[in-house]
A and B are shown apart, each in its own frame.
Chain A
Amino acid sequence: CTKDFEEVNVNPNAPAIVPLDYLLSQSALLLAGSAGDPGYKSWRANFIYAGCIMQQMASVEVGFYRGTVYTFQGDLSAAYFESSYPNSIKNLVNLIDLASKDAKDVNVLSMARILRVVETSFLTDLYGDVPYSEAGKGFISKINSPKYDPQQAIYMDMLKELDEASKAFNPASYKPTTADFVYGGDLDKWKRGANSLMLRIAMRMQKADATNAQAWAKKAIDAGIMASNDDSFTIKMDKTGAGNNSNANSWNLGAGRKIADGNNIQWAKTFIDMMKARKDPRLPVVAALKNGDRSVDKQIGIPSGTDATTLTSLPEKNLDNYSRAAPNMYVLSNPYFIMTYAESQLLKAEAIERGWATGDAKAAFEAGQVAAILQLNAYGGTLTDADAKAYSAANPYPSGTLDAKLEAIQTENWLINGSVLNHMEAWADWRRTGFPKLVPVNYPGNETNGQIPRRLRYPQSEVGVNENITEAITRQGGDTFMTKIWWDK
């Protein structure tokens, strides 16, 4: 009477096989940090650290928004790492494994490979050397303690993956449509998206490996990057309020945690001042006072490093009168931005200036500026071409040194990534280029000797569980906020 035992031990509530589309769709949401614990990594990595470190956001609650003052708290620093691997990475690695078994699934496979590159690039840019080649393979390959790959190797492989995946798209094979939250099954957009990511990743290597950076940047541009704001790489969200379906940044700023609606986090003075100085038409779209006032002259940002005490010595003592993300910025269905068309144009401008690509750098820069302004309409703006052109005219492309041009390009990048809440990307750009110039704060007890952090610290939980971390720490020269990762050297 043990005959039916195997049947008894089959979980009736969880299937062993599901359509690959289901896995693709969920993986994208896990990447965007909405499924599971909504906003876990968005809050900690994107806002508390990256956004505040970049002086786009600031908070007087420096004991919690530690990026404002460069202090460490284990679970805040570890969040992206600890959330990514057991969620998006695990499911993407599994999906890649399943989709590679049948040639008809090649489009799903390519999408999954590209999404895995996206998540990996966030991870490695935040921490440096991270598990990659063996990551997420606890079941598939029985690897419990993945090795930490050197960032250089990760970068080379991500480029190869983007190249292979974008080339492998086959219009004759099955195309996911509703399950594709990025481009709805438009394979051409996928190719341009992948090539743009390739350009971003290539440019990131500029300091560390100019030769390869050049080769891959050229390859990306030649293969065709994004052509309009419609091509921007985003993950489409829904507005139901369910943790699964919401934009993770919106969930934190608004409905879920209300950190912007309260007085938790506001725009930083650096960000607001920059927009004001440049007469940026996005300012009334992104910022409002507590009472909803969006008038430009009323907008003020909190000086980074201000705490509740030093706030009392500022001219404005009432937090309600400081700018915070306006409600349209945290509508739950706002798309989750991975990469904008604007950024791809700005990177192209840089590549041209470096002689890595041919074309008109100024035109690319201006196309980026205009796209950046209009992109904000995705977050409830009503900006027009005229607004964009006026902005471009007010902030013309400089002539002169490469540095001056680079500063102009990266300032635009910093503004666009700040205004679509992609602070992690802004931080990476800043680390590579040093632009825009930021004045660090020197708060008591900071971990960086008053310098802007260059990375996050690894999860303490890895020590004692994965001995490979020791090698990675040694290779990178320590596990501190100031340890420079490979491409930042």
Chain B
Amino acid sequence: QEMAVTGKVSEEGGGEVAGVNVVVKGTNRGTTTNDKGEFSIQAEKGKVLIFSFIGYNSKEVTINASILDVSLTPEATALNEVVVTALGIKKEKKALGYAVSEIKGEELTVARTPNMANSLAGKVAGLNITGTATGPAGSTRITLRGNGSISGNNQPLIVVDGIPINNENLGQAGMWGGADQGDGISSLNPDEIENISVLKGATAAALYGSRASNGAILVTTKGGKMEKGIGLEVNSNYLAEDLLIKEFKDYQYEYGMGNNGLKPTTVNEALTSNSWGTRLDGSNVIQFDGVSRPYSAQRDNLSKFYQIGSTFTNSVAFSGAAATSTYRFSMNNMDNKGVMPNNTLHRNNFALNVNSNLGKKLSILTNIKYVYEKTKNRPRLSDSPGNANYAIYSLASSMDVETFRDTKYDAAGNEKVWSDNVYVTNPYFAAYDFQNNDQKNRVIGAIEPKFDILDWLFVKGRIGIDYFNYRYRAIEPYGTAYKVLGSYTSNQREFMERNMDLMLGIDKKFGDKFGFNLLLGGNQMRNVNRLTNLGGNNFNIPFFYDISNIDPAARTSSENYIERRINSLYGSGEFSFNNYLFVTATARNDWFSTLASGYNSILYPSVGASFVVSEAIQMPAAINYFKVRSSWAQAGGATDPYKLLLTYALSGAHNGAPLAQINNTEIPNSLLQPLTSTTFEAGLEARLFNNRLSADIAYYSRKTTNDIVNATVSYTSGYNAAVFNVGEISNKGIELLLNFEALRKNSFTWNASFNMAYNKSEVINLYNDLQTLRVDENRTRTAYVHQDVGLPYSQVKGFDFKRDDQGRVVYDAQGYPLQGNLMSYGSGVSPWTLGFTNSFRYKGVGLSFLVDGKFGGKIFSGTNALGYRRGNLEETLPGRDGGLIGEGVNENGEANTVRVEAQPYYDRIANNIATPFVYSSDFIKLRQVIIDYAIPSKYLGSKSPFKAISVSLTGRNLWIIHKKTPNIDPESNYNNSNAQGLEFYSAPPTRSMGVNLNLKF
């Protein structure tokens, strides 16, 4: 019997709530509450009404009267909040002795970035995301609570639905150039993600073993729900991407192309990218192609060359239930066009989740994902060959980039040489003639049967596979100025990692007060890479690009098979008392195939406790919830395969004689031991003032001992690096998360969330009495990254000016500054990170913005150093007319009085001294703005096929509010290696704006 049901919705212990969706369960019929929180709806007695509203826990109420007053509890107050922890075990958050942060799937889909990992930036205290400036399909560096290892992996383990996935970089730029070939996390489909659980310490990850010694990020994808009919969800997203910095604000546009203060008068003189010419006067001046053009400032080269990027993403998902199973199937299509011309990325994701209950005791969870990715022309970075960015950043002030488009080839169809350095490739030639294409087919799947032997005893198995096949083909074209006959590279990589787990679980209560659960298990991990490489220099027939066109004797080919295994046993026990005291202990033993027997086993334990004070004792009324927690944990780690022995590489033959040389570029070490990372953490969680303020504070101390290091050693040792166990690195820090409900009045809410982390790292000691270790070097050869005993991780180092006792710069007899000592400028990793989100909501409309920042780090800009050498920077203006006298003293301590020409003066500095190009990498960015609107269900009408429609507008990386680096984005590392703090001709930073439409049927 239908009747009118009316009522009022209010917040528990608070005022009425407007805009609450009220739906009759199992139907499309629904309404929303008005300004006074009132609603009215037609429904049968005995049916169930669902009340839902963002920020509150949904509530289901059975209709037993015509007047129904309902109170909703704000989401944050959910005392029994459940989070996903290691091995996919869901636990009540209050039972955890360590910090866990969760990110909901919507947060990733609404404010989307082409690269999912970047959208985590600023959202979790202690989670440091460094997007390498490498475009949309590039990789990201993710670290939790600082860097524990000097040269080993510092990134957390990425686990998708219980399966560790490969997140390694498939190639990145180094000192001599290269391209970022992307990583594993970037290929996940944000629409599939239910939530992400960030386990920050070794504590949280003890059960994942060695590879989670830097924490773990657990991604749980959406599954089906027990609901009637087939749920259909459609999401469409469009993003436009544009340069964030469109003009070189700190370049000079007063003097034009040329050398030694002269305008070019011949083609030979015009073969330069230097801006050491005369004052720009608009006269016609000859250029590299013999054509004369006005000698005037060209400020728009960035916007002329780069284009507006765009990303279309469409996804469809079906979900539902059939008999005893629930399922969800989703498809996703993404097409991306980069800001770099001719750079595209195409991706398809398919995912199927099925959870079947086969009888009462047996259930099987199956999920499988297939990803297809195709990338065209990933931009080259860092050093100049084939790097369009390099050329754009290096153009003389009077050179119009479009000239290069019009005069790309010489008469023979080769790249027309345009400067005195053939290694600086014409940007259009780099973008359109070079090829750098790859395709990846990836399958991630798991089957997880669980058998409940008793209601407190179960056995669970899991077999998970991450497999991909990756093909990469790169062409340096015939006619490339620096490699006239071109080159061919074709790689195929097959990757497989298989994890098999078997677990026995006990979950038992003893009386009302005591609870006990135990998990015992074993894991076998097998990780295999098969690589086939084919290539060679010198094409015979011009412009035909196939391996058959390389002289057979000049072809190179190689195969690599790389396997590693880890066997593990683990156990975890948890005791609870009265639901307010929890103690958890874990232990795991790993055996590594990559270490020698006798050194290859490590046992590491953890123990943690949580005490919910507010449940145990009566607290003042202002405190709604108060928990303290503490834990101690260890994790072990190993290294890559084949680092123990010296081997040889067979490298073809010469005049009939086979050739071989030492294969290792790192000094092998058969005595390597596992590294150990030990973390102590203590924290508290509190909710105060009627749950309006919640805080989570953590202190941690993390120590890595016996770290396995690939340390740069002197070339003269014959090797680039040595592998050994070194001393100790310490990371200590605090993390703070505050959520504040600033305002809740009528239908308006304002929530603020602030997170902050400070990590103090220190290299305590190195190998024997070694005081410093080199990690990387900038292409300018004047700046480096080191680990120095007693200093924070990743020191940016470089050559200073030579100085006398009073710190005055010392000049040689010819008036040029001399190179001084190698000095440390500070850490390339910012110790302070923070994020501040404000969300406003009025009825169905929401606005939120995120501001984030990092502070305390340093970066060396190689781009600016060479800008100096080329006379492109504003700072190179002094001395253009009549030279300059450097301020300082000569080698006899007298004031320097020698006047020198500007060009050699700045050239000398750029080639010898790093100090002028080291900057603070502090920044504050407006990272994200979202406006969203959910059409209230009352407007959809009861006949509508839609259950929900929401639209959002988003902007990412909209504004660098504060930075100290001229010309470059302080977040411009060219790779995501451990050498943080070096910049060299990265892809330019971009901002994106988009619109997202979500339909639920």
Contact = CB atoms under 8 A, between A and B. Distances in A.
Interface string A1-30: 110011011111111111101110111011
A460 B778 CA distance: 11
Provide the main secondary structure of the chain B interface: mixed
Contacts of A81: 715-716
Contact of A131 (B668, B711, B714, B779): B714
Interface residues of A, number: 95
Nearest to A63: B420
Given A138-B718, A312-B266, A11 B659 contact: no
A146 B661 contact: no
Interface in A33-61: 35, 60-61
A138 B260 contact: no
Contacts of B646: 16, 139
Contact of A449 (B662, B719, B814): B814
Contacts of A9: 564, 593-595, 641-642, 644
Interface in B638-668: 641-642, 644-652, 654-665, 667-668
B660 A22 contact: yes
B561 interface: yes
Given A86-B719, A465-B714, A2 B600 contact: yes
Interface in A237-272: 238, 240-245, 255-258, 262-264
A307 interface: yes
Given A5-B597, A142-B667, A466-B716, A445 B900 contact: yes
Given A12-B561, A21-B657, A138-B713, A94 B667 contact: no
A8 B593 CA distance: 7
Nearest to A245: B654
A14 B663 contact: yes
Given A2-B567, A14-B647, A242-B553, A135 B772 contact: no
A465 B654 contact: no
A85 B718 contact: yes
A73 interface: yes
Nearest to A81: B715
Contacts of A78: 781
By size class, the interface of chain B is 35 or more
B667 A139 contact: yes
A434 B261 CA distance: 35
A143 interface: yes
A17 B483 CA distance: 35
B426 to A, nearest CB: 15
Given A74-B782, A462-B714, A238 B271 contact: no
Given A9-B593, A26-B661, A242-B553, A464 B774 contact: yes
A2 B647 contact: no
Interface in B910-957: 911-912
Max chain B C-beta neighbours (<10 A), residue from A74, A78, A89, A264: A74
A241 B712 CA distance: 33
Given A22-B650, A245-B654, A309-B262, A144 B714 contact: yes
Given A244-B654, A245-B553, A137 B717 contact: yes
Max chain B C-beta neighbours (<10 A), residue from A27, A61, A64, A309: A309
Contacts of A465: 712-714, 774
A461 interface: yes
Nearest to B601: A2
A463 interface: yes
Contact of B667 (A61, A144, A309): A144
Nearest to A90: B718
A23 B268 contact: no
B650 A18 contact: yes
A311 interface: yes
Max chain A C-beta neighbours (<10 A), residue from B648, B720, B813: B648
A240 B717 contact: no
Interface in A103-147: 130-131, 134-139, 142-146
A139 B664 contact: yes
B660 A86 contact: no
Contacts of B262: 309
B271 A61 contact: yes
A298 interface: no
A130 B716 CA distance: 9
B271 A308 contact: yes
Max chain A C-beta neighbours (<10 A), residue from B711, B713, B717, B911: B717
Nearest to A73: B911
B482 interface: yes
Contact of A86 (B558, B596, B665): B665
Contact of B647 (A8, A16, A238): A16
Max chain A C-beta neighbours (<10 A), residue from B596, B650, B716: B716
Contacts of A15: 647-648, 650, 660
Interface string B757-784: 0000000000000001010010111101
B537 A307 contact: no
A245 B551 CA distance: 13
B733 interface: no
A255 B551 CA distance: 13
Interface string A439-483: 000001110010000000001111111100000000000000000
Contacts of A89: 716, 718
A23 B661 contact: yes
A242 B664 CA distance: 22
A422 B755 CA distance: 64
Contacts of A21: 657-658
Max chain A C-beta neighbours (<10 A), residue from B271, B908, B911: B911
A479 B951 CA distance: 66
Contacts of A142: 667
A160 interface: no
Given A2-B600, A236-B655, A444-B903, A18 B712 contact: no
B685 interface: no
A366 to B, nearest CB: 34
Interface string B675-703: 00000000000000000000000000000
Interface string A277-314: 00000000000000000000000000000011101100
A86 B905 CA distance: 34
Contacts of B661: 23, 26-27, 30, 35, 87, 91
A302 to B, nearest CB: 11
B590 to A, nearest CB: 10
B76 interface: no
A414 interface: no
B717 A138 contact: yes
Contacts of A309: 259-260, 262, 265, 269
A320 to B, nearest CB: 10
B822 interface: yes
Contacts of B201: none
Max chain A C-beta neighbours (<10 A), residue from B659, B784, B816: B659
Interface string B267-287: 011111010000000000000
B567 A244 contact: no
Contacts of B507: none
Contacts of B567: 1-2
A5 B600 contact: yes
A181 interface: yes
Interface of A: 1-2, 5-6, 8-19, 21-23, 25-27, 29-30, 35, 60-61, 63-64, 71-75, 78, 81-82, 85-87, 89-91, 93-94, 130-131, 134-139, 142-146, 178-179, 181, 236, 238, 240-245, 255-258, 262-264, 307-309, 311-312, 317, 319, 444-446, 449, 459-466
9 contacts: A29-B654, A82-B715, A85-B715, A138-B718, A139-B646, A181-B657, A242-B551, A308-B272, A312-B266
Given A242-B554, A464-B772, 19 more contacts: A1-B524, A2-B600, A11-B641, A15-B648, A26-B660, A91-B661, A139-B667, A144-B714, A181-B655, A242-B537, A242-B652, A308-B259, A308-B271, A309-B260, A309-B265, A317-B266, A459-B781, A463-B822, A464-B822
Query: Which 4 A-B pairs have CB atoms at the shortest separation, nearest pair first?
Result: A445-B904, A90-B718, A138-B717, A74-B781
